[in-house]
Amino acid sequence: MEKIQDLDYYLRDFSCRDQLADKCISLLLSDISDGRITYNDIDRLKNCTATELWISGLNQDTFEYLIETYGQQFKVIYFWKCPLIANFKKLEKLINIEFLIFFWNQRANHLWDLSKNPNLKGISFDDFTRMHTLEEIPLAPNLEELYFGDKVWNKYILDSLEPLSRAEKLKKIIFSAKKINDNDITPLAKIKNLERLEFTSNLFSTEQIAWLTANTTSINSSILAPCQKVEISA
C-alpha cells in the first residue's frame, strides 16, 4: 500500500524524488537564466506521465497555458519563483489537484475559488508581498494542511486569522508573519479538527498564547507546550 504523503514531504528538496522520473518532473530554471520559462519549455510536458511538477519563471500568460494544456494530469504542483502571476483563477479547473505549493509572488492579492478543487488536501504559500487575506481558505471542502508566511523575507502582513475559524477540515497549520493586523488569536481556538499548530512566538503576547493553550486540547505545538499547566506535588 502506497504511503500517504503530506505537505512536509513535498516541501523537501525535489532532488530527493528526482530519480522517480515516471512520477516527478522538474521545469525549474537555473539561477543564471533570464528567469522566464517559454511555451516550448512547457511543451516538454507533452506525453509526460508524471503527476508531480516543479516549475519556475511563469508569467500570467505561460501560467494560464500550463494549466489549460497540462494541468489536469498533475496531483502536485510547486510554483517556485513565479512573482509575475497576478491571477490564480485558472487553478479552479484542477479537480484532481491534491497539493499546491508557492514560493514568492509579487502580484496576486487573492487566492481563487477553492471550492472548485474537491481533492485539494494541502496549500503552502510563502513570500507573497501583496496577499493579506485568507478569505478563500474556508471554501476548500477537503483542505487539511495550510502553511503560509515568510520563507526568506520577514515582511508578511496578514489582515486576520478569522477565516480559518470556518475551515472545518483543517488539521495542520504552520505560519509565520511580521504582523497580524487585528492581533486576534481567538480564531485558532475555533478550528475544531486542528491537530498541529506552529507559528512565530513573537506574533502574540504571552497572555494570548496562554489563553489559546487554555482553550484548546490535543494540539501538537511547540508554541503552546511551554504554557501548559504543570502540577507540582507537595
Q: DSSP labels for 123-135?
A: EEEEEESS----T
Reported as a single tens digit per residue, the pLDDT across 130-147 is: 999 999 999 999 999 999
Range of the domain at 94: 7-227
Handedness of CA 200, 203, 207, 209 (dihedral sign): negative
Query: What is the value of pTM for the model shown?
Result: 0.92
Query: Looking at the domain assignment, is residue 212 inside a domain?
Result: yes
Give the total number of structural domains in the chain.
Answer: 1
* Cα atoms in the 13 Å half-sphere on the side-chain side of 177: 24
Query: Looking at the domain assignment, is residue 134 inside a domain?
Result: yes
Residues 81 and 205: their CA atoms lie apart, in Å, by 33
What CATH number does the domain containing 107 carry? Answer: 3.80.10.10
Query: Looking at the domain assignment, is residue 47 inside a domain?
Result: yes
Reported as a single tens digit per residue, the pLDDT across 47-81 is: 999 999 999 999 999 999 999 999 999 999 999 99
| Element spanning 196, H or E | strand 196-199
Query: Looking at the domain assignment, is residue 232 inside a domain?
Result: no
Residue 109 near residue 131 (C-beta atoms within 8 A): yes
Q: What is the pLDDT of residue 20?
A: 56
